[in-house]
Structure 1
Amino acid sequence: MLHLSFLKQFTRLAIGSAKVQPLNSKNICTTAVLPFKISDQLWAEPMKKKKKMDPAIVKAREERRRKKIEKQIRRLEKNAKQLKPIDELEPPLHVLDNLNTRKRIPVVLSPAEVEARALLNKEWCRYKRQEYMANVAQVDRIMRAQKRALDQLYEVSEDLYNEAIMPDLQLIPYSIVGPYATPPIKNYDSPDGEYIDVSKKWGN
């Protein structure tokens, strides 16, 4: 039982100071001061009794932990300058094992072969230059013929000249309507990717 003086003090300070207002139809308290509060439940278990351990064992554990951390630090410092490997650029291990057998012997070219290849490279360069110059000359001839035709058209009719130099707007927004893909095949079972079943099969 609570002490009578504590009840009077609690009633005078907490409940007596709060203004009691009638509740609304939803039974929701609208007072600014809450007369009662519930404290949080702090659940805890009794503290376990610490076991007394030999100081030598504790010291040995700390020494092992310290050596392990130092070993990890040395390993990180050793590999600090190494870049992170990229799996896509790393060759397979079986290729590295057979690298000596797969290595080709470098071919030693004779002076005559080196001279023949150099002459062939020069001949190819001359051919490509002649082809480029021929294309440039053809474009120049087409542009000169076009300008000559427009000049003659301007002398005949200025209206036809303006119509000829007007850009064709129907060619700029080019659009085509057609099949976007091949037609579907009837009763086609689409594969769900390729995979190799490596699961173990156990006998009955």
Structure 2
Amino acid sequence: MFRSLINAAKVARPESLSLVGAFRALHVSPVVMAEPMKKKKRLDPAIVRAREERKKKKLEKAIRKLEKHAKQLKPIEEMEVPYRLRTEIPMRTRKLPPMTAEELENRIETLKEWARHRGKVAIAEASWIEKMVQAQDKALQELRKESEELYQAAIQIDPELLPYRTKGCVESAPISNYEPADGYIHDVSRKWTS
């Protein structure tokens, strides 16, 4: 039908050429605004396999890196030494004169004597505690022979032994009609993601 209209317009008089102009705007198929399809290249299977292996190795490396960094703790800013102080370490170290052999021997002897003294004190305290525990056990056994009621009363925990007091709950009920103060809080703490 479309062809017959165009053929009719060719043989018609010049006044009927306006009919052909109207038919030029008529399209049967959609306009393709693209280049023709390119022919797909044939790739060597070995090259494709090598590319896949490279991708796989890259992913494994990234996973290993993430696992390695996951074990690292978040840095605490207060524990880090500022860079300025680290650069000033040589300037801040004191130049002490070397100790003489006699002074060094004197210090070593003093430390050894102190260690011996503390060892004797620790042994004496341990033996004293052991004697007290044995005396307490012996007294409790004698008390049990005399009276079971007195023994049960003696082994009860003394609440006055430790001065620990608790009183009620620590949170109070909300205040009715309380209006908080206006203001803007600027949070400067760092956000850490894992």
The verdict on a shared fold, with TM-score over 0.5 as the criterion, is no
More RCO (CA 8 Å, sep 6+):
2
TM-score between both structures, scaled by the size of structure 1: 0.37
Structure number with higher helix proportion: 2
